[in-house]
Structure 1
Amino acid sequence: MSAPAPLSPQVAGPSEAALSRLQLMVTRKLDGLLQGDYAGLLPGPGSEAGESREYRPGDDVRRMDWPVTARTTVPHVRRTIADRELETWLAVDLSASLDFGTGRWLKRDLVVAAAAAITHLTVRGGNRVGAVLGVGAEQPAAPGRRRGPASAPGPGTLTVLPARPGRKEAQGLLRRIAGAPVRPGRVDLGALVEALNRPPRRRGVAVLISDFLAPPQQWTHPLRRLAVRHDVLAIEVVDPRELELPDVGVLPVIDPESGELHEVQTADPKLRVRYAQAAAAQRDAISAALRGAGAAHLRLRTDSDWLMDMVRFVAAQRHARTRGTTR
C-alpha cells in the first residue's frame, strides 16, 4: 500500500487535496471493516438490557446479573443490546511536540490521519462525532527578551467542536483538526480529558489522541472517570527517535514546547543505552496507566504502516468482544 502524502500542517494548514487523498485512502481500506448495529471503532456492549449468560474471564464485573447468579449459584453477566446510534468524542492533543518526525510522517500527520480514520468509522448510520482540541498557548515575553525558562509557554487552550451527524460535518471537523494553529506551549492533558467529563455526555466512545509526553499523574484520574461512562480508546503517536538515539555525534535538540536548546553527545554508547532504558520505562508507564484507567491502547509509529496497525487493532477488538471479553 502506498504511503499517504504528508499533510505538512506547519505551513498554514494542509490543502484540501491532501485531506481528500487521505480520506479516500482511509475509505478504501476501512470501508466495510465494521458491520452490525454498533458502527463504531470500538464495538461496545451497548446500554439496553438483554439476556444473561455465564460469566467468562475478562467480562466486565459491572454487568454482573446478581439475581440470576443467586438463583443458579453460577456467576452470570447481563448481555446488552448494541446501540444503533453512537456518539463519539475526540480529545486531540495538538501540542508543539507533535511537530517532530524522523519516519515517513510527522507525529502531527499521524494525529490527523487517526482522526480521519475514526470519523470515517463512526459517522455512518446517524452517529455523531465531536471533538475537543488542545492547542499550545504561548505567554508573551517581555519586550526585548528572548523566550526562555523564565517566560515558559502557558498550559494551552481548549476548543470544543460540538458533536453533529453527517459526513459533511465530520469533514468540517477534520479540517478544523488539520488546520489547527501550531503554537509553542504545552497542553494540559488532564484538562483535555476532563473536557469530555464535564458536562456529562451521553454514553458512547471517547478517543484520546496524543503523544502522552505529559506525566501520567496529570491525566490518569480524569481518564478513569471517563472510562466509567464511555468506551475509551487511547491512541499514542510515537517516533522511533523518541525510543532510541542514533550514533551521529553531537546532536542539537530543541524542545518545541519550551524553545530550549540542548546538545547531546550521541557517540557515547552508555548515554544511548540510558536513553533507551529511560524511554522504554516511560512507555511502559504510559501503557500501565492506560490499562489501569480501563482504556484500550493503540500505538502508532511514524515509521510504520499506521493504517494496517489500526486495521489489526480493530480486528483484535472485535475478536475479543466476540469471545465475551471487554478488552
Structure 2
Amino acid sequence: MTAPADPGPPRSGSGRTSADRMADTAGTHGAAGGVATARAEQVLSRLQLLITRKLDGLLQGDYIGLLPGPGTEPGESREYRPGDDVRRMDWPVTARTTVPHTRQTVADRELETWLAIDLSASLSFGTARMLKSDLAVAAAAAVTHLSVRGGNRIGAVVGTGGGSTVRLPARPGRKEAQGLLRAVARTPIKPGRTDLGALVDMLNRPPRRRGLAVVISDFLAPPDDWGRPLRKLAVRHDVLAIEVVDPRELELPDVGVLVLADPETGALHEVYTGDAKLRARYAAGAAAQRSAIAYALRAAGAQHLRLRTDSDWLLDIVRFVAAQRHARTRGTTR
C-alpha cells in the first residue's frame, strides 16, 4: 500500500537528517545555514529534557525497564527469621510447608539493550506533528533514557535504505548513550527500502547474553520478510516492537484529487478522494494490513507498542510501561 503524499507544504527535504527535521517539532528554529551538528545537539538536548521531565514525573522508581520489570529478580525462599522484611513473605511456599518463608532477591545483572531502527525512505513521511522518522528517533531516545541506568549497555543497528546499515557498538553510560543518539539523528536517509528482516537478524549475530531488543519501524514490509528473524530474536531476548504510524496511512481524507507517492520508489498516482467507496476500501485495506502486522508480532513473541504521529507519543510510552510493570508484578509477593 502506497503512502499518500502530504497535501500541504513539503514536510521533508532531500539530504536532510532526522535531527534537521526534528528541530521544528522540538521548537528549534535555527538559521538556514546553521551547522547540522549544532542543530542535532540542540534538538536532542530539548528532546532529552522533555523525556526526562515527563517520564521521571510519571514513572517513579530507581530502575525503570520497558520489559524486564522491577530492579530486583526473585531468588530462592528460606525460612523466616526475626527481623526479616514481612513484605518479602513467600505466601505460596508458606502455605505448602506451613512454615513461614521469605523470598530472597538477587541483584540485577547489567542489562544490554540493542535497538534496530528502520530509517528507510518510507519513514520520511508525515502529515501530523512530525515525520515518522522523527518519531522513530524520539522513541529511540525514550528507550535509551529508560534503559541506560545502572551501568546498562546500549547499542544500535540502523537501516538507512538501499540496503545500507550502520552498527553502533553497545557501551555503558549516559554520555555514550547520548553519543549513540546523536549518531542516529545525524544518519542521512537514502532512497530505497531497508531489508527489515536482515536488520533484525543483525541483532542475532553474534549471539549475545539475554537482554532487551527493541525494533523500531513502520513494519510495512511483508511480515514473511521479518517474521522469522523476529521469532529467532525472541527465543533469547525480550523483544519490544515499536510501530510508527501516520493517520493518513489508516484512512484518506476527502480532499478531492490527491497525489499518492511511494517514498521508496518515487511512483506517483492521482486518486479522487471524493469517492466514499474508495475511501472505505482504503481504510479496510489499511486495517487488514495493521492487523496482519499485529498478528505477526504476537506470533513472534514480541511486545507491541504503536506510536502515532498525531498523538502524544510520550504518554503512549508511559501507559505502555505502566501496563507492563503492572502485568509483571500482578499476583507476586514483591
Per the TM superposition, whether the score is higher than 0.5 is yes
Letter in 1 for 2:45: S
- Structure 1 position 4, deviation (Å): 4.9
1:102 alignment partner, SS class: coil
Deviation at 1:31? 2.2
Does the 8 Å contact 2:249/2:286 carry over to 1?
yes
Distance 1:290 1:81, change over 3 A: farther
Query: TM-score if structure 1 supplies the norm length?
Result: 0.79
Q: Is residue 246 of structure 2 the alignment partner of residue 239 of structure 1?
A: yes
Gaps of 5+ in 2: 1-23, 78-92, 98-102
Task: Report the secondary structure of 1:31's partner residue.
Answer: helix
Paired residues in the alignment total: 280
Q: Deviations over 1:40-86 (max 9, x none)?
A: 2212489977348xxxxxxxxxxxxxxx9xx99xxxxx998563311
Q: SS in structure 2 opposite 1:21?
A: helix
In structure 1, the residue matched to 2:230 is 223
2:300 maps to which of 289, 293, 297: 293
Deviations, residues 213-238 of structure 1 (Å, cap 9, x unaligned):
00011111111111111110000000
Q: Which residue of 2 aligns with 1:121?
A: 146
Within a 5 Å distance, the mapping from 1:164-179 to structure 2 comes to 164-179=171-186
- For 1:35, which of 25, 37, 61 is the aligned residue? 61
CA distance in 2, matches of 1:103, 1:79: 49
- The Cα of 1:35 is off from its aligned counterpart by 2.9
Asked whether the 8 Å contact 2:211–2:237 carries over to 1, the reply is yes
Question: What secondary structure is seen at the aligned counterpart in 1 of 2:130?
Answer: coil
SS at match of 1:233: strand
> Which residue type is aligned with residue 316 of structure 1?
A
Matched residues in 2 for 1:106 and 1:251: separation?
19
Give yes or no for the alignment of 1:205 onto 2:204.
no
Q: Which runs of 5 or more residues in structure 1 are unaligned?
A: 53-67, 73-77, 138-155
Check the 8 A contact 2:197/2:227 in 1, yes or no. yes
Q: Which amino acid aligns with 1:5?
A: A
* CA displacement 1:120-163 (0-9 Å, x = unmatched): 111111000000001112xxxxxxxxxxxxxxxxxx21111100
Give matches, 1:126-137, under 5 Å: 126-137=151-162
State the SS of the aligned residue for 1:15: helix
Partner of 2:5: none
Once the two structures are TM-superposed, the CA of residue 324 in structure 1 deviates from its matched residue by 5.3
Query: What SS is found at the alignment partner of 1:214?
Result: coil
CA distance in 1: counterparts of 2:213 and 2:331, whole angstroms: 21
What amino acid is the match of 2:265?
S
Deviations 1:16-40 (A, max 9, x none): 211110011001111262635x642
Using a 3 Å threshold, how does the CA distance of structure 1 residues 316 and 255 change in structure 2: closer, same or farther? same
Contact 2:40 2:185 in 1 (8 A): no
Over 3 Å counting, the alpha-carbon distance change for 1:47 and 1:226 in structure 2 is farther
Q: Distance in 1 between matches of 2:329 and 2:257?
A: 52
Give the corresponding residue for 1:57. none
Q: TM-score, normalised by structure 2?
A: 0.77
Q: Which one of 297, 300, 321 corresponds to residue 328 of structure 2?
A: 321
RMSD between superposed Cα atoms in Å: 2.7
Q: What does residue 290 of structure 2 align with?
A: 283
1:311/1:4 CA distance change after superposition, 3 Å: farther
Alignment of 1:79-158 (within 5 A): 81=106, 83-137=108-162, 156-158=163-165
Contact 2:70 2:325 in 1 (8 A): no
Q: Check if 1:259 corresponds to 2:266.
A: yes
> What one-letter code is carried by the residue in structure 2 that aligns with 1:21?
R
Partner of 2:202: helix, strand, or coil?
Answer: helix
CA distance in 2, matches of 1:230, 1:178: 26
Which amino acid in structure 2 is aligned with residue 204 of structure 1? G
| 8 Å contact kept, 2:28–2:43 | yes
2:256 maps to a residue whose letter is: G
Larger Rg: 2
